[in-house]
Structure 1
């Protein structure tokens, strides 16, 4: 079973480890460099500890600044395939920009990873938000991106479940006698997710995805987003889980954690990268509440605008329990340096979550 489908457990994952800096826009020397050996080490640490999933970002152009943030990143289909062969139980997502990847190619690549991983593949379907990235391909942002995404997802589903070559005539795609073999291990398709924030994207997620990832300014405010998605999914005749994303600084004492948080995300902020990313996201992505851009600049430097988990193991476990109580099914996590910080998090925080009853222990 794909770990994302395990019942009655608060899922945890590592996010953005395929890109330099992870989700932090910082100049500290220990910042994540996203070398393959370090990525593999972090994924195997997470795999052994029982972390549930790896979720990469799809980046083609960086955010600039002194560090050329995110310019170095691994393409996510081949990234997932590499990790699939070197792990045993963790779910492995691929993130794909719909306008840049044909659904027939995506179906073949996704099924390949699903077979390598024996059914642990997942697909994060995104439409893109940065026009500078699309310009690299000689294109531009699509006017109605989620109409295209719906057609794209429909083709993927039909390819995996067709009993004859597929003919398809749509607004965005035309396929003649299309086949893909092998089909996916997971039936009727691998698990899917989306990270839309606006109404069209959330309607798409309600109809085509198993999980929605969202951001929030505080946990209580996140409850309204969960209720909104549950209503949309009910109208679509489906059920779906809502996840969030957080950046983590876990230390033995709260002072140590907060001092380091201030150091890497304020004193060592990569100002040029933060300015570019915030400007582009506010103009084109609609991925955060408007208040986030006005009040929480530090969160964008520290973790691309995600929720901060900063403190002792006990404090961080308490916040994750609050997320579960609010109705979230899980959270993707980022660190300044995954391979250096994951062991302490797994050793000290995971047992507290087991004691709280929101996660189970890992079988030997």
Structure 2
């Protein structure tokens, strides 16, 4: 069943499990698979359930519970072929990718799918991966400086003819891309991060900013900061938050699932992941990067998804989603334990309640 949504209704995206090991670093059973067949079935189920976006992940090497990984851009295209409305965000890593290659690839996919591709620019947190493939590992704020140039170059290529750009990382001389993408002014550009450098970059160049899971109060502080900076730059940025969703008929059942996930945490993998990401998070000059303050339990889900607290009954979760919207969240990026069945449950039980609460709030304001 499909839901018609107004422009300001909160949107939903899901993490594409194109990496093995699911979305939690735990030995608990997960009825989720990284294969193409499973992912195409999931994409159709998510589209039918009312999800508007899917986010494919990029990993070049094994590690932290992810032994196998399908490449994000080519995998995104396969999901787009299996659907008709879903927009797929391909994760892109500056360093291994050059903006000219991305601009060309994405413009082509945009034509093939009539405007259903977007990108998520990942500035990089996994040092071992960069070292393994012979890519230089830049200092924290330099990674964001490179990403910002990367995005400025992409936007220039996608919107201008005879594009010239002289940056510290990228240079273009009188370059014209033809054909340009179908989407105008260009395909949507998402980025992640929680550090000051990430927020500052979003406030200048990104269409969307993904932040790690957090409480509404902490999210509000981040969102207000970004929006205030963006306004000064004459720029608008929308906000997505990461959430691991455990929706069950009773609160007890939902909490039992969370306890079970944490009880079966793959301790060694979680600690190794924690060391890698805290190095990245603490490396931000103010020590406020992603994961800088995450506990062991938080790290069992890659992007602090438990902290958003979308764990409980459909009613509880719908109310919390509307609270997130009230502090400025435009999109919820969801992870699940057993993807297909839980995405379907979410579409049937949770999403209609969210839409009902939204329209009630709208009427109350009107």
**Could you state the TM-score of these two structures normalised by the residue count of structure 1?**
0.89
Match of residue 319 from structure 1: 320
CA root-mean-square deviation? 2.1
Match of residue 19 from structure 2: 19
Deviations 1:201-246 (A, max 9, x none): 2211111111111124312221101100101101211111111010
Deviations 1:131-170 (A, max 9, x none): 1010111123223122222222222122122333x44443
Match of residue 39 from structure 1: 39
Match of residue 235 from structure 2: 238
Contact 1:130 1:280 (C-alpha < 8 Å) held by counterparts: yes
Deviation at 1:180, TM superposition (A): 2.6
Match of residue 363 from structure 2: none
Deviations 1:274-304 (A, max 9, x none): 11111111111454364323xxx22321454
Contact 1:28 1:268 (C-alpha < 8 Å) held by counterparts: yes
- Stretch moving more, 232-241 or 26-35: 26-35
Contact 1:129 1:141 (C-alpha < 8 Å) held by counterparts: no
Match of residue 217 from structure 2: 220
Q: Secondary structure at the residue paired with 1:139?
A: coil
Match of residue 10 from structure 2: 10
Determine which of 102, 107, 114 is the counterpart of 2:110: 114
Residues in 2 aligned to 1:252 and 1:171: alpha-carbon distance in whole angstroms: 54
Deviations 1:256-276 (A, max 9, x none): 11112111x222111121111
Which segments of 5 or more consecutive residues in structure 2 lack a partner in the other structure? 283-288, 361-366
**Could you state the TM-score of these two structures normalised by the residue count of structure 2?**
0.89
Residue 206 (str. 1) matches residue 203 (str. 2): yes
Q: Secondary structure at the residue paired with 2:310?
A: strand
Matches within 5 A, 1:1-364: 7-64=7-64, 69-143=65-139, 144-164=142-162, 166-263=163-260, 265-285=261-281, 287-288=289-290, 290-293=292-295, 297-306=296-305, 307-357=308-358
Residues in 2 aligned to 1:17 and 1:136: alpha-carbon distance in whole angstroms: 23
Contact 1:25 1:304 (C-alpha < 8 Å) held by counterparts: no
Which segments of 5 or more consecutive residues in structure 1 lack a partner in the other structure? 360-364
Deviation at 1:77, TM superposition (A): 0.8
Residues in 1 aligned to 2:358 and 2:150: alpha-carbon distance in whole angstroms: 39
Contact 1:18 1:56 (C-alpha < 8 Å) held by counterparts: yes
Q: Secondary structure at the residue paired with 1:156?
A: helix
Deviation at 1:11, TM superposition (A): 0.6
